[in-house]
Amino acid sequence: MPAVTATGGETAFVGRTAELDRMNQCLRTARSGKATSVLVQGAAGIGKSALVRRWLAGLSSENLPVLRAACDISEEDLAFGVIRQLTSRVPAALLDRFTLLAGAVPTAEPFQVGTELLALLGELQSDGPVLIVVDDVQWADRPSAQVLGFVLRRLEADAVLTVLLTRSGTEPGEAGGLDLHRLVAGMPHSCELTLTGLGVTEVAELAALVYGRPVGRGTAERLRNHTDGHALYLRTLLAEVAWDSVAHGRDALPVPTSLVQALRRQLDGLPGPARSLVEGIAVLGGPAPLATAARVASVTDSDAALEPLLAQGIVRWWPNQPSTPVAIAHELQREAIVTATSPRRLRALHAAAATLVDRAASWSHRVAATQGTDTQLARELELAADEYHATGEPVRPATLLLWASEVALPRSERERLLLTAAARLLWAQRYVRVEPLLARIETAEPCPLRSLVLGGYGTPRGAPEAADLLTEALENSRAEAGAEFVPAMAGTWLGIHHIVGGHSAKAVPLLRDVLAIDHLDPQLAPWAAGSLGLARSYCAGARAALGEYDTLAPAGSPRSVAEQAIQRAYRGMLQMWAGDLTDAENELAVALDTARTNGCPVTAEFTYANLAASQYFLGRWDEAAISADHALVIAEAEEKPWAFSYACSIASWVRAGRGQWQRAQELVQRSYQWSGAISPAHGLPPAAVGAAVLAQARGDYPAMLGALRTILRARPDSGPRAFQTWWRPLYVEALIADGDLDSADTALAHLTALSKDAPFLRMAVMWLSGRLSQARGEAKRARDLFEEGLSLPASSDDPPLHRAMLAHSHGRLLAQAGERQRSAAHFTQARDLFTALGARPFLTRYRDDFTDRPSGSRRAAGPPLSELTDRERDISMLIGRGLTNREIAARLFISSKTVEYHLSHVYQKLSLSGRRQLRNMVQQDSPLSST
């Protein structure tokens, strides 16, 4: 990994001592193992980049690893382009260990790339702090911005200092969707530096650097007042005005009305070859080989032409690199150069550049070199877009199509290309990119493709006309040439619209029609099939949906890796709802692992939540807590509000079961708050389940019943039928506790019928049947039912919580009958199951119920593990599974350094000497319960 190096020739930086001190203070914090971030903001050209370059130059002797990137507005559609820059100088032997970072897979989900970046940072910290520097972050591509947000939120005990540079006034969401101020403020160790104009002393210092001789204070004040201390403006002015004029005030300073005018005056004073070379450099954009820039500009003596550009600070040069690359020093200077170049000259420069750069970079130059229209180029751009689309990359194809629309003829062809680009952006959920196109879209001639785009744009916004537009697109697009994807996309979108609106019965035939389309786009097919499975489960239950889904997407059928991952994610969801818990856990875990390894999307925010639900019922509460947290982290980092209600509900279950009342209540409240993000009909039922689980743990049966009645009032095809295995046992329990035995009997009959297709409910059926008989005074029948349930052969899908409550109830019934010896065994079984889960409220209730309970308890291993934090408990549990620190870090979305930090606290709290003792403690059955 190369060390920090100075770039040389930096005359635009002076002063800023206070800011340098703040940055060095932040570095000291990072050195101590506390992840730190700095947000440097200020007007364009104020000196942000110069400040950071000067700071890095001061660290050059320390050989610190530095990951650097400079964002460019022209590269916003290059997925993970900023991440590629950050990792470009990491030694290949190290980078090759991280598949997604090394391969830059454009279809990967940001959290997948972020997990690998966290692991890489853990490796790079071995010899000291790591620096991450991202310039002009307001232009970061969205996937890269989401990776940065994910990583910064997950850095904890890491020697990492992140420096983000942005222009003042950057609105929330401009930096690839990041709210920079909120992100930085949310980190425990961070600061914001806002750069303003240079002071008089600093202006004098800069003038002295430029002229090689001092200037008086009066002259410095005159310069400061004239430029407001703006570093780039001042540097441009000093390059234009002679020292005598400045020092003695014989001539008035030039008074351009803007910095751009000052830059243009500077350009006008350049020798011809230098002016030509700087135009070529500007057209090429980022750093480019000097020889390439000279060929673009038709300059024969590039060295001579470069000298005045370096002297005036217009160009930066890296002479120590093999190709001696050059770049315009500042984006404002590049903009001024481009706008000051005649249209004919610009087209010639772009035409020359198109023949000298690679194919991917050539497209923008070819478009810029075109005068008027070029139908051949438009066709080539569309073909290139199709190539990108075939790889699954979502945004680059749309950009090429938009360029094609600018050079195509006739108008109908321009509009087709524009609308196709917009449709693909919408399918990739890039709504921000579509907003600037709306005026052109709305004025396009009415057609199915236009209806598709407007309907797709309006669907997530709840636009009342969205359904009508999608219906129009679907009904009128069957034979439209060049837009064969329209009926498939319109049908899928309309189906999803009906599902989230609580009308899944309308979605089923639509989605079946989509799947019957010949030559259905392979990228769309698995999502249409999954949506059909979802709609069918909402209408007929998960078991019926699973049967149909397996005919649409049979396991083991020859599909692409991406399709297989998506199919497994949907199948696992349906299996989980149907009660095939072990199969569901395996299917969901394989889906996530396949997606992570190959960089393909599986709506991980839902897949992790479904995995957590399976693990909760299977009694693996520690794993469930981790999976549910992952769902929340991904939904937040990738801005997927439609998943919050569902994920928050499931995340609350373990917290409620362990008596973490404050956190559980917060999650339930968030679930209700987000339930209306798309549609209350879709979001309220999962939130109600979370509220009911919390009320069950608290023993608050009126609240439990009140929450569940929300589900009963929901439309039959709006969702509750899909996950009725979750809420029907809770409903019967609440009715019995409320004394409404007739209603409980009816509800129990529904549950009993459901258990025939969902055998994992059999223990709950026996327990609740016994509870109902006991409530009716039928003690003997209750005893027989309890004993029958406990005698059932164990199944891998049996929920331990259900068996514990059955044993608890039977023990209480026997104790009330005076059969203390027989009751003791059931008390012990219930206690041990509750203890293994860490289900503290149920243990407390057990103790409160029985003053004459069995003495003794399971062996405690050392100090109580309940003293551990959630993170410490998660790490300890994984240590017990035999995972290495690196494996634990990947599993928990943290760095290996953070694992080491928390482990040291675990050893201290539990008075352990090391890893082996902790592993033994966990494996010997310490209940990793929390307070």
Residue 575 to residue 585: CA distance in whole angstroms: 9
Q: Do residue 558 and residue 608 come from a single domain?
A: yes
Q: Are 157 and 905 in contact (CB under 8 A)?
A: no
Other Cβ atoms within 10 Å of 342 Cβ, number: 9
Name the residue among 236, 424, 425 with its Cα closest to residue 332. 236
Q: Are 48 and 198 in contact (CB under 8 A)?
A: no
Evaluate whether residue 851 is within a structural domain: no
For residue 4, the 8-state DSSP code is: P
CA distances from 200 to 78, 204, 228, 231, 233 (A): 42, 6, 10, 12, 15
Q: Do residue 38 and residue 53 come from a single domain?
A: yes
Strand partners, 69: 134
Name the residue among 614, 545, 616 with its Cα closest to residue 583. 614
The per-residue pLDDT for 819 is: 87
Q: Which residues of the chain have pLDDT under 70?
A: 1-15, 104, 169-178, 247-258, 478-483, 555-558, 678, 848-866, 925-931
Q: Is 440 exposed, middle or buried (0-12, 13-18, 19+ CB in 10 A)?
A: middle
The domain boundary, picked from 348, 368, 388, lies at 368
User: Peptide bond preceding 308: is omega within 30 degrees of 0, i.e. cis?
Assistant: no
Q: Do residue 56 and residue 183 come from a single domain?
A: yes
The per-residue pLDDT for 253 is: 62
Evaluate whether residue 363 is within a structural domain: yes
Strand partners, 70: 135
Q: Are 47 and 195 in contact (CB under 8 A)?
A: yes
DSSP labels for 547-559? Answer: HHHHHHS-TT---
- Tokens 């070199």: give the residue: 369
Q: Are 928 and 877 in contact (CB under 8 A)?
A: yes
The domain boundary, picked from 196, 219, 236, lies at 196
Name the residue among 52, 61, 60, 57 with its Cα closest to residue 26. 52
Q: Do residue 68 and residue 216 come from a single domain?
A: no
- The region, left, alpha or beta by phi > 0 then psi within -120 to 50, assigned to residue 357 is beta
Q: Are 663 and 669 in contact (CB under 8 A)?
A: no
The per-residue pLDDT for 212 is: 79
Q: Do residue 56 and residue 126 come from a single domain?
A: yes
Token pair of 915 as six digits = 């890893």
Could you give the angle at the alpha carbon of 530 between the alpha carbons of 524 and 535, nearest 5°?
A: 125
Residue 576 lies in domain:
553-639
Other Cβ atoms within 10 Å of 14 Cβ, number: 23
DSSP H helical segments within 81-199, as ranges?
A: 81-87, 92-95, 99-103, 110-124, 142-154, 180-185
Token pair of 573 as six digits = 């969801």
**CATH number of 176's domain:** 3.40.50.300
Q: Do residue 872 and residue 885 come from a single domain?
A: yes
The per-residue pLDDT for 538 is: 95
Name the residue among 859, 871, 881 with its Cα closest to residue 930. 871
Evaluate whether residue 729 is within a structural domain: no
Residue 551 to residue 146: CA distance in whole angstroms: 36
Element of type H or E holding 468: helix 466-476
Number of H helices, E strands in the chain: 49, 8
Q: Are 408 and 373 in contact (CB under 8 A)?
A: yes
Residue 193 to residue 181: CA distance in whole angstroms: 11
Other Cβ atoms within 10 Å of 307 Cβ, number: 11
Q: Are 543 and 758 in contact (CB under 8 A)?
A: yes
Evaluate whether residue 912 is within a structural domain: yes
Q: Are 267 and 336 in contact (CB under 8 A)?
A: yes
Evaluate whether residue 335 is within a structural domain: yes
**CATH number of 605's domain:** 1.25.40
Q: Is 486 exposed, middle or buried (0-12, 13-18, 19+ CB in 10 A)?
A: buried
**CATH number of 333's domain:** 1.10.10
Evaluate whether residue 145 is within a structural domain: yes
- Tokens 């930066």: give the residue: 316
Q: Tell me the whole-structure pTM to 2 decimals.
A: 0.84
Question: CB within 8 A of 225, min separation 6: which ones?
Answer: none
Q: Which amino acid appears at position 406 of this protein? A: E
Q: Are 430 and 176 in contact (CB under 8 A)?
A: no
Evaluate whether residue 887 is within a structural domain: yes
Q: Do residue 166 and residue 21 come from a single domain?
A: yes
**Coil vs helix vs strand at 167:** strand
In a 13 Å sphere around the CA of 755, the CA atoms on its Cβ side amount to 20
pLDDT 10s digits, 891-907: 898 888 899 889 998 98
Evaluate whether residue 248 is within a structural domain: yes
Number of domains in the chain: 5
Q: Do residue 324 and residue 355 come from a single domain?
A: yes
**Coil vs helix vs strand at 872:** helix
Element of type H or E holding 67: strand 66-70
Q: Do residue 222 and residue 276 come from a single domain?
A: no
Q: Are 653 and 690 in contact (CB under 8 A)?
A: yes
Q: Do residue 118 and residue 250 come from a single domain?
A: no
Radius of gyration of the chain (CA): 33
Q: Do residue 118 and residue 134 come from a single domain?
A: yes
Q: Do residue 48 and residue 157 come from a single domain?
A: yes
pLDDT 10s digits, 678-691: 677 778 899 999 99
**CATH number of 881's domain:** 1.10.10.10
3-state helix, strand, coil in the chain (%, to 5): 65, 5, 30
The per-residue pLDDT for 4 is: 40
Q: Is 903 exposed, middle or buried (0-12, 13-18, 19+ CB in 10 A)?
A: buried
The domain boundary, picked from 172, 196, 220, lies at 196
